Chain A
Amino acid sequence: MSEILLKIDGKEVKAKEGMTVLEAARSAGISIPTLCHHEKLEPYGACRLCIVEVESRGWTRIVVSCVYPVEKNIIVRTRSEKIDRIRKMILELQLAHAPDSFILQDLAKEYGADRNRFEKEPSFCIHCGLCVRYCAEVKKKNAVGFVDRGIRKEICFIPEIASKECWNCKECFPLCPTEALQAAYVLVEALISPTFLQTRGREIGSG
């Protein structure tokens, strides 16, 4: 595979064809914040936090680095006034949905995002799709999926599958940038069997 030379934050970086800008940056030790990216999963491009500036032939554009393939001789800037401003806005919008997410709060500190800027609408889910995609792509169980769309979009477990598969897996829990996933699962369990929670409730708390 041919090698591609590009510049990221002033550093010469060698990348392989087909790599994304995010992968190239990480291979060179340059960090770009991400929320919906996961090495084991197909790129998704949902959260938009990983945006960077790409300059080629004198034009500068904003692209989503986790889905944007590397190109010859492009100049990438992972931080700039504009990028920081957009990231701050994205974080403020996400914090309206998940105000207590630690990951979001840490990022908010770095980008000066105000968690109270927008009226809170706690759905506790930022639609990163990590849980849904992990279950489908890695575990191949498809126990959890999205339903509805727009402002009503939410995750939903398929009870028949969840009752068989999830208890012994739960690998998606730590992936969630908010606590929504765990809450949703606990709810499904309660619906499957009302006594389940009483007997197993304590384990959920410690798991």
Chain B
Amino acid sequence: MDKDRIDQIIDKHNCDPGYLIQVLLDIQAENNWLPREALERVAERLQVPMTRIQHIATFYKAFSLVPKGRHQIHICVGTACHVRGASRVLDTVEGLTGIKPGESDLDLKFSLETVNCLGCCALGPVVEIDGKTHGKMAPAQTADVLKNYD
């Protein structure tokens, strides 16, 4: 991510340290992760210590300090999805992508996470990719769904 774009985001929030989290969220949304140089720029411009930025960036799950894949897969392993076979869906997705929850593949195509209930249990097992919900997932279907992303 280039410095000018980071400066634009910071300026959009009037360079106000009170908007630190919002600035980080914007960078995360655009870049998929928070590179060190970006954080240093934010620290410098907003005049907040790096310790604080580091604490926030590691506190919230929304932030990532390592590169993330272009597509975020969230597999629900909440109670309802679990009893409907979420673990088998997870197994097949792990097999297809070659990554485990919390990881991203080498081509940075996918990142995989598990979540505990997406709030639509009647659709379980639920898989969410880039915010789009895929309900009633059977392990055999997952390959077809993943094929749509590149």
Contacts and interface: CB of A to CB of B under 8 A. Distances in A.
Residue of A132, A144, A149 with most partner-chain B CB within 10 A: A149
A75 B7 CA distance: 55
A158 B58 contact: no
How many of chain B's residues touch chain A, expressed as a range?
under 10
A156 interface: yes
Contact of B59 (A135, A136, A148, A156): A148
Contacts of B51: 132, 135-136, 142-146, 156, 158
A149 B54 contact: no
Interface in A157-185: 158, 161
Contacts of B59: 148-149
A142 B55 contact: no
B12 interface: no
Contacts of B52: 142, 145
Interface string A110-139: 000000000000000000000010011000
Contacts of B50: 142, 145, 158, 161
B49 interface: yes
Main secondary structure of the interface of B (DSSP, over half): helix
Contacts of A142: 49-52
Contacts of B49: 136, 142, 145
How many of chain A's residues touch chain B, expressed as a range?
10 to 19
A147 interface: yes
A169 B129 CA distance: 49
19 contacts: A132-B51, A135-B51, A136-B49, A136-B51, A143-B51, A144-B51, A145-B49, A145-B51, A145-B55, A146-B51, A147-B54, A147-B55, A148-B59, A149-B58, A149-B59, A156-B51, A158-B50, A158-B51, A161-B50
Interface of B: 49-52, 54-55, 58-59
Given A145-B51, A148-B58, 11 more contacts: A136-B49, A136-B51, A142-B50, A143-B51, A144-B51, A145-B49, A145-B54, A145-B55, A147-B55, A158-B50, A161-B50
